[in-house]
Chain A
Amino acid sequence: MSTQIDTIESLAEREYKWGFVTDIGADTVPPGLNEDVIRVISAKKQEPPFMLEWRLRAFRHWQTMTEPTWQNVHYPPIDYQSIVYYSAPKSKKDGPKSLDEVDPELLKTYDKLGIPLREREMLAGVAVDAVFDSVSVATTFKGKLADMGIIFCSFSEAVREHPDLVKKYLGSVVPFSDNFFAALNAAVFSDGSFCYVPKGVRCPMELSTYFRINAANTGQFERTLIIADEGAYVSYLEGCTAPMRDTNQLHAAVVELVAHDNAQIKYSTVQNWYPGDKEGKGGIYNFVTKRGKCAGVNSKISWTQVETGSAITWKYPSCLLLGDNSVGEFYSVALTNNYQQADTGTKMIHIGKNTRSTIVSKGISAGHGQNTYRGAVKILKSATNARNYSQCDSLLLGDKCGAHTFPYLEVKNTSATVEHEASTSKIGEDQIFYCRQRGISTEDAVSMIVHGFCKEVFRELPMEFAVEAQKLLGVSLEGSVG
């Protein structure tokens, strides 16, 4: 037994591969939060009055709220007055018009992260709206998308160029009063992505955004809004890496999705924020509110997430199934290694008739990691013939980690079918030895078993993302065997 634990410990050590800091003169607001800071943010972003008004209402509401404490994660109190709420890379007057105008330092950073910003690399079919700290620096393929009537741009640009759409949908799925972190985000959100796919249009490429936190102590408050109009389809990829940091960084993002009649949105995330070192020092605090509204009949929203990073993850991508026959899906792999803590899951709220939802959650705990699945399935009185299937599996590596499952079921319509399956397993010394006796190294054996454990989720990811996710899992786990 003790040899097994030693192996786990010796293996559970791998430096964060993408830990580096780019030196860019940041245009930064002093730390702290008050109405003046919000006014500065809004002014810097040249926002119309309705935006400022909304932010201020959110801020006032936030001041009346307290941080939630029900989650199964532990961290020192966050001093919201010591956080810097706005930081933008310095740019020429109106921002860069092409990549040539982009700070070469920034481009190098993207290079290291392997983000395909250059046109030639875009042949892979990915349009990237890259968020560096708080301002989007480049958006590619916009022209091509615009020809189809698809709007894909930074949130700030959407606020300026498409205020009616923003006004109509902003906060319509996640109101600023929703929760503490959503309110904070609404008050100070810096930037993010906006996408609108018009009636009957099928977005021909995977839309993608890479988020990144850079300036020290800068909170990252992204806001994403995606609308698929009647019969539209869009697949959106979100991937994150963050540089090495000693102090904890707060990340409170909000994502809102709206699917109208017969529309479909597929939202995939690979999250790899800096998880802290192996002693649990540093790392990102990731408090995210993600929710999709299946507003129309036969609409469908799928969340797929691979969460390997962050010191703390607090995230429940959810679906409001309003439209009759609408479908909500949640596929998740959450990995906690070293001292990482994750409390993640989903909420499926069935309101329309014949609504269906599927939840597949795979939690992997290694090192001292604590992994919690928390999910709610609510079948309201109106949801005749609603169906839900939930599957929550946990995999433990070693004997110092933990897996927890909190499923909440609330069924108010007797015609509903709700199924829940759960399992917990452990990668055992016996399995590892068996593989090694066949010539397969310990690390390959773990990666093989973990991949086998996760494949139902990986299958849901777009191809290139699946490969990346698999690599990421390998890197994050290298070293955690039991």
Chain B
Amino acid sequence: MLEIRNLHARVGQKEILKGIDLTVKAGEVHAIMGPNGSGKSTLAQVLAGRDLYVVTEGQVLYNGKDLLEMSPEDRAREGVFMAFQYPVEIPGVSNLYFLKAALNTIRKNRGLPDLDAMDFLALVKERMKIMEMDQSLLNRPVNAGFSGGEKKRNEIFQMAVLEPKLAILDETDSGLDIDALKTVAAGVNALRSPERSMILVTHYQRLLDYITPDFVHVLSDGRIVKSGGKELALELEASGYAGLEWETADAR
């Protein structure tokens, strides 16, 4: 599904990713953990195609295609979805209208006809159940005036409708209280499937109490310093990132 080789990226003159190697197979859930400033979110943004970040070295293959050559919209149409850490407000554009436009461009790319308003509404209603979304949010402008929890929920709801192949969840747990976290995690779990890969970017282990990853990677100073199974997250929980940095320094 996804193969990242020796990925280097910078923003401005500052190098943030310093050689990432990561392979994600279909159906796998990978958690990327690490302290603030380690490059977790940069990795997510680079995969989504944010042009603020310049890739200086390395390669990313997505289902055999050169992902870095594709525009952000083409990546999305090919099934790459990013749940934003800070979902953007778009005043004047209703959530429903936005989602329909997004879904239809993706369907078009898959060679499917546009969904008409009726079918779309039926699909939306079904997917809303997964996220326990309030229906009134559909007709409100995209994320405008949503609470932090509603925004994050809306991201996962969009994911449920758009059915991506590769979902990148950037700090989806940040700013959520425990109930909202449980709902979001339940939504994500419902969307796990053998065809769908996920990358969970998170600072805290607590998200992983609810979504069990197949692999955990620890990112520090732009490199993956440790990889393991779900138990690695628990180790981190106990020792913290500080011990880890010591370990990194030692490894050098």
Contact = CB atoms under 8 A, between A and B. Distances in A.
Contact of A440 (B73, B82, B89): B73
A438 B162 contact: yes
Contacts of A431: 88-90
A423 B106 CA distance: 34
A448 B90 CA distance: 10
Interface stretch (B44-52, B118-126, B200-208, B215-223): B44-52
A449 B101 CA distance: 12
Contacts of A442: 73
B92 A449 contact: yes
A455 B71 contact: no
B98 A437 contact: no
A451 B101 CA distance: 14
Interface in B44-69: 48-52
Given A3-B51, A439-B73, A448-B98, A434 B105 contact: no
A438 B78 CA distance: 10
B106 A435 contact: no
B90 A452 contact: yes
B105 A440 contact: yes
Contacts of A449: 90, 92-93
Given A3-B51, A433-B72, A448-B98, A439 B109 contact: yes
Interface in A432-458: 433-442, 444, 448-449, 451-453, 455
B71 A436 contact: yes
B158 interface: yes
Contacts, number: 76
Nearest to B48: A437
B76 interface: yes
B73 A434 contact: no
B152 interface: no
Interface string A330-374: 000000000000000000000000000000000000000000000
B142 to A, nearest CB: 8
Given A433-B50, A433-B72, A452-B93, A438 B102 contact: yes
A436 B73 contact: yes
Interface residues of B, number: 33
B62 to A, nearest CB: 14
Contacts of B87: 434
Nearest to A453: B92
A61 to B, nearest CB: 46
A437 B101 CA distance: 12
Contacts of B89: 431
B40 interface: no
B90 A435 contact: yes
A431 B143 CA distance: 11
Nearest to B109: A439
Nearest to B78: A439
Nearest to B93: A452
B91 interface: yes
A79 interface: no
Nearest to B72: A436
A440 B77 CA distance: 9
B92 A440 contact: no
Interface in B142-186: 158, 162
A436 B109 CA distance: 14
A115 to B, nearest CB: 31
Contacts of B35: none
B49 A452 contact: no
Contact of A439 (B50, B51, B77, B94): B77
A424 interface: no
B141 interface: yes
Given A3-B51, A444-B101, A452-B141, A436 B76 contact: yes
Interface in A91-148: none
A452 B106 CA distance: 22
Nearest to A434: B88
A451 B71 CA distance: 24
A365 B18 CA distance: 41
9 contacts: A431-B89, A436-B73, A437-B81, A439-B73, A439-B76, A439-B102, A441-B105, A451-B92, A452-B92
Given A438-B98, A448-B98, 19 more contacts: A431-B88, A434-B88, A435-B102, A436-B49, A436-B72, A437-B49, A437-B72, A437-B75, A437-B81, A438-B76, A438-B81, A438-B158, A439-B77, A440-B101, A449-B90, A449-B92, A452-B90, A452-B94, A452-B141
